[in-house]
Amino acid sequence: MRCCLGHVYSPPTLDITGIHDIGVAVYKCFPSSVIRPPHFNSNPINLHGIIGRGMLNLPVNPIYSGLCPSCGREADAYSIMNYGVCRKCFRQNTSYKLGLIEYNRSIESEIVEFEEYFRRATRGYSLWGSQRIWLKRLFKGENTSIIAPTGIGKTTLLLTFSLYMSSRYRKKILILAPTSSLAKQIYNRLSLMAKSTGYNGKIVFYDSSSRKSMRDEIIDRIRKDDYDILVITNAFLSRHPALFERKFFDIVIADDVDSILNRSKNIIRLLNMLGYDQETIMLARELTDLRSRLLVLKANGLEDKYNEALKKYLDIEAKLREAKSKNRHGQIMVASATGRARGPYIAVMRELLEFDVTGITLYARDVCDTYIVTEKNKILQWIYRIVSKIGPGGIILISSFHPLKHSISIDELVGYLNRNTDYRIAKATPANVKKLLDGRVDIVIGSGSYYGVSVRGIDSPERIKYIVFIGTPCFSIEINNLLANIRTLYRMLIHLSENGYDVREYMIKLSKILRYINRKEYRIITSLLKERITIDDVSNTKIIEWYNIVKEIMEYTVNKLKEILDMKQKIVVGTIVLIKHGSKYLGLIPDLMTYIQASGRTSRLYNGDMTHGLSIIIEDRELEELVKALELKMKFINRETSFKKFTRINLKRELEKIKKSRSRSGSSYNIHFKTILLVVESPTKARTIANFFGKPARRRIGQLIVYETPIVEGNKIVYLNILATRGHIFDLTTDPSRGLYGLEYNVSNEEYNPVYNTIKRCRLCGHQFSHGSICPRCGSTSIYDALEVVNVLRKLASEVDEILIGTDPDIEGEKIAFDIYLIVKPLNNHVYRVEFHEITRKELEKALKEKRAININLVQAQLYRRILDRIIGFSLSTELWNKFNKHWLGAGRVQTPVLGWIIDAYRKWKEKQCIAVSIMAGSEKPYLPIRICIDSGEAAKEIYEELMREGKIVIRVIDRFEKIVKPKPPYTTDELLYDASRIGIPASLAMKLAQELFESGLITYHRTDSTYVSNTGIEIAKNYAKEKGLSEYLVLRHWGDKGTHEAIRPTHPWDAIDLEKALAEGLINIPIYLTPLHIRLYDLIFRRFMSSQMREYSVLCIKAIAEIPRKYSVEVEIPYMVKSHGFDLVAKPVVYTWLPSTNIMELNITKIRKYRTSREKLMDHGLTIKKMKEVGIGRPSTYASILSKIRRHGYVIESKKKKYLIPTKTGIEVYNYLIENYPDLVSIETTRYMEKLIDMITIGAVDAIEAIEDILSRLISHKLIDHEWYITRKLAKASS
């Protein structure tokens, strides 16, 4: 391996790819005088931002393996919090030895030198915020993707860096540009910078417009390596591959990566020039293909094939690692405004270079977005008026896929303006673009395609002032191809349904497919529908069956939409505009990327600030909805974006702003910049937050993804780095040598020390463990270690100004936050805790202003709960293993009483068994259900047969009354899980779905026992009611006082249908694939919430007797008419409006069945959780996991349809043994008492040590723990 300056070193053997080499071999690169760590001193660290000032005592003081940043050995939390190092290093006053700190100091020293070089190169300018971030990565030798808008200083930094590295370290550098005009600009800028800095190296530029002899000379110099910095275009690289076959470059700079990386051959050439041979590239390709196959196999439940493919994957991964280590590799830096690169070899590049080319951001974009809606025949007049008023410095683009391109040609427009104005107008060729830049042309006119020279080939902030789009930039897709996307097809069905077409059956069929289909299957069906592949290419019968269903639905929908278009010419479906253009039926969708790229040419970093630009869209009146659709998409990137009518802006003021922003002088920046690392536990949550401010850039560090996105407020920019830890980083060790199941006692400090190791996960079988480097389940040595997260956190902590920890707002989240704090504190003094009760942009902005300290009481409570679960669980489990000789058995303080309820319910169910006769009556839906339980099987048979013969049932009304139905409060966790189980979603699945909905920003935090609704929630209810015309039914309620959490509610005023529309149109960027189950649970939450904010309703009911043969009868209550509306309008209760008005009714029997059941109910997920809440054991965060553990131990099984919980023989035997021998450990009273202790610790009313002492004394009384360990500890404590 090599550092950024080329020195070779050997990384440690631990395989944490991309992390282990950070900061190694620094001494070879930089003098020792620059490696003194910034934060080290012999005094206690000021704990500002976490616990106030002064020293802190921790009664339960966890020890973490490898946590000391000085010696790399274990350290306790107290020492890290107060000294920044372990106790031993503090006593010895040891200087830091952590390579990362030393490395960062050396990098800072290098940046100081570079900044002086940068000032000379740019004639007085200093580095600004984002450039400084990028520079740190460049000097660390990282392959770097700089994804930011045009004009933000990417190219300036990279060109200066190339000169610096070439002059100081003799690096051979290649610079690639997308167009010859940009290549020329780069060469000219390099030449000017070289003069300013005294650079005397060889800068070679291939200019395609130069004379042949000059071109031949340059080619000969390239062949002979007679250059230090080479500037060429992507096209030149493609046309002369032989010139670069065996060339190696230390640094490759691809300015505008989108254009070069859209071809696989270019990517392979780049990789070759960076030192990757063909064998290595093919191994990487095979690895990325296998990764996709693994996802498909796992999604389809093909476990044997998955395991076989996984072994092959791990073998190829090892070969690739070895192949990469053999050769010297160069460094690549790519720059882009949008990060649009796609294709199979992008994945190969990502694998080899360990970085991503993704992202789009809108920070510091200062453009006035305007539009004009007019008739086609007036467009030329409008262009003439605009050019006459604004003058030179413009670009006019005819949108490439817009229908208007058939009405106006570039040549026609050039001729018209040259005849009617005094300005020099030219077609946007490379030669004319050069003339525009040097003032020989005033305005260029070109095609508005994403890769066009007009969009990407111009970089002149002082010259380009405004841009005019003839037609909104858009994609034009034939309707058959448009509807080949299944979600878009579903969106069209929703539109047809809303407009009176009966497509319910098709919607149900498509919804079922969407429920089960995975991404790979989705792509295959799309390819079949687009006829890219044939049915003969597919062997999977399930895919073929789904394809046939989707094809039938698509054909119907396409024909129906064509019929409508034949009559109306246009259909607007959200942000999609369907039109009939000649004989074609097209879907027009706004092209956001092209608009951002092109309009960004008017607003760029210039003289320390952003230039102001003007963008004008001229749209055909028949297609004005396209402008609004573009605006809507822009708002999802930057909600401040607003498209104004051109006729309503103050043009004079805009022109003054344009002029003023270009006349500013000076070398200081007017943009204030701050970097923040936000740490969360979930990758989904990280992606959701990152998408709030535009499509984020992605930075790969090893196996982890860091999302980067800016938050802009005026001239202030917060550059947010978002990292997910993937849950807990540490867990209690299972090392048998470390105390009592990982719990030690320090006599001298009189404290308990739970010992924590980083969590490991076997990559072969998925088993998770905390001790050792070999999987205890399958013996594999291919292990993912959360130590990688530790290293990445430390690396990022050294790069940012501030660290915010945004883990879940409960005691588990607080413990994760505490662990993160301990990891990063030695490298950054500005560490704070923030809370998200919903994942929305508004909540994020609020959290950034409400930073707080880590709550040590919550951490102590979690430590106590973890210790409690460990020592009780391990003690009782060990006892069960010895008793029953079954090593998969387990027990816990909450699991055991819950198992008892399930056993008790099953016993009662067996005692009260009966035969049920169930009837569905009525002539139309909803059918009326009537059920009777009969003890005698013979009588039940006779009743069943008689009802079958008669086919009717008599209902006699005995009373009519009005019933007032009041709304319930919004969901708490237990209520949600209860209702979810009623619709067939078990607790564990419901919690998983709710977690994903929360992390995707669609609902508030789902682990809560509060019914409180915030003012934000009230506003959501008001907005939805206003949109749906339900405002008169609102009765807004907070449902109690504000507490730690809020009730579970939606975060947007969207019902389930609204959500599906937004998904189909791409209006919301959800980081996961939302299935119909997600939508179903969301619908449950939304209806309950909206009901809670509406008034009660009254319904007319009858009390009646259903007469059953053989003198049996059933009393029933039947609602038949809503008298006054309220929350029924959203809750949609079942009302039998078809019921006859007579007092004696004879109803047809639609369906009848006879089956064995019981008068007593079995427990299911919902009932069990409801009882846990009522009794006071368990917590919202543990309800589902408790049931999962009972099932995993084999104590209960689930019935197939109703998901009833049925105890096994083993479960009954284990429960009876535990309750007979250890009642004071597993009783409801003891469990409730322990839960109360946890609550008391969270508020500081009970010391965690006292609680631990209590449980230890209980265990010792039953001889469940090591008596010698306990007595030794007690004696030592007494003597001290």
How far does CA 984 lie from the centroid of its chain? Answer: 27
* Strand 367-374 relative to strand 425-427, pairing: unpaired
Q: Where are the domains of the chain?
A: 367-473+591-663, 486-573, 672-729+786-854, 858-909+1165-1279, 913-966+1098-1158, 973-1095
Averaged over 578-599, what is the pLDDT?
A: 90
Tokens encoding 769: 């463990």
Which of 696-700, 877-881, 1240-1244 shows the lowest per-residue confidence on average (mean pLDDT)?
696-700
Q: Each residue of 418-451: pLDDT tens digit? A: 999 999 999 988 788 878 878 899 999 988 875 5
Q: CATH number for the 672-729+786-854 domain, one of 3.30.70.580, 3.40.50.140, 3.40.50.2300, 3.90.1150.10?
A: 3.40.50.140
Other Cβ atoms less than 10 A from the Cβ of 131: the count is 25
Other Cβ atoms less than 10 A from the Cβ of 699: the count is 23
Measure CA of the first residue to CA of the last residue in the chain; give whole Å.
53
pLDDT score at 84 = 86
- Cβ contact 253:333 at 8 Å: yes
Domain 913-966+1098-1158 annotated CATH 2.60.510.20: yes
The dihedrals phi and psi of 115, each to the nearest 5 degrees, come to -60, -35
Tokens encoding 8: 């070779």
pLDDT band for position 887 (50/70/90)?
A: confident
Domain covering 858-909+1165-1279, topology? Topoisomerase I; domain 2 (1.10.460)
- Cβ contact 397:447 at 8 Å: yes
Residue 15 has pLDDT above 50, yes or no: no
Q: Each residue of 229-282: pLDDT tens digit? A: 999 998 898 889 899 988 999 999 987 655 566 677 888 888 999 999 999 999
Q: Each residue of 136-190: pLDDT tens digit? A: 888 888 888 776 655 567 788 999 999 999 999 999 999 998 888 888 989 999 9
pLDDT score at 608 = 61
CATH class of domain segment(s) 367-473+591-663 = alpha beta
Residue 1110 has pLDDT above 70, yes or no: yes
Averaged over 1223-1245, what is the pLDDT?
A: 90
- Starting at the earlier edge strand, list the strands of the sheet with 251-255: 144-147, 331-336, 251-255, 173-177, 229-233, 203-205
Q: Each residue of 912-942: pLDDT tens digit? A: 999 999 999 998 989 999 999 998 889 999 9
Instruction: Report d(CA 723, CA 536) in Å as an integer.
Output: 44
For the whole model, what pTM was predicted?
0.80
**Torsional class of 1038: left (φ above 0), alpha (ψ -120 to 50), beta (otherwise):** alpha
Instruction: Report d(CA 966, CA 1087) in Å as an integer.
Output: 14
pLDDT band for position 743 (50/70/90)?
A: very high
Q: What superfamily does domain 973-1095 belong to in CATH?
A: Topoisomerase I, domain 4 (1.10.290.10)
Q: Each residue of 470-504: pLDDT tens digit? A: 999 999 999 999 999 888 999 999 999 989 999 98
| Distance set, CA 29 to CA 103, 136, 168 (Å) | 10, 15, 13
**Which has the higher per-residue pLDDT, 29 or 1082?**
1082
Residue 1217 has pLDDT above 50, yes or no: yes
pLDDT score at 25 = 29
Identify the H or E element spanning 650: none
- Cβ contact 729:790 at 8 Å: yes
Residue 1278 has pLDDT above 90, yes or no: no
Q: Each residue of 1144-1156: pLDDT tens digit? A: 999 999 999 999 9
Highest mean pLDDT among 48-57, 243-252, 519-528: 243-252
Longest Cα–Cα distance of the chain, Å, equals: 112
Instruction: Report d(CA 1055, CA 1087) in Å as an integer.
Output: 8
Q: Each residue of 328-355: pLDDT tens digit? A: 899 998 876 455 555 667 788 888 887 6
pLDDT score at 37 = 31
Nearest-Å Rg of the Cα atoms of the chain is 35
pLDDT score at 1020 = 94
Tokens encoding 302: 């093909």
Q: What are the DSSP E strand ranges found in 61-109?
A: 63-64, 75-76
**Residue 606 β-bridge partners:** 609
Return the active site residues. Answer: 1005
Q: Do the first three CATH levels of 367-473+591-663 and 672-729+786-854 match, i.e. the same topology?
A: yes
Which of 34-38, 153-157, 238-242, 627-631 shows the lowest per-residue confidence on average (mean pLDDT)?
34-38
CA quadruple 555, 556, 559, 565: dihedral positive or negative? negative
pLDDT score at 263 = 73
* Strand 672-680 relative to strand 802-805, pairing: parallel
Residue 364 has pLDDT above 70, yes or no: no
Q: Is 641 exposed, middle or buried (0-12, 13-18, 19+ CB in 10 A)?
A: middle
Residue 640 has pLDDT above 90, yes or no: no
Q: Each residue of 100-147: pLDDT tens digit? A: 566 677 888 898 999 999 999 988 888 877 788 888 888 888 888 776
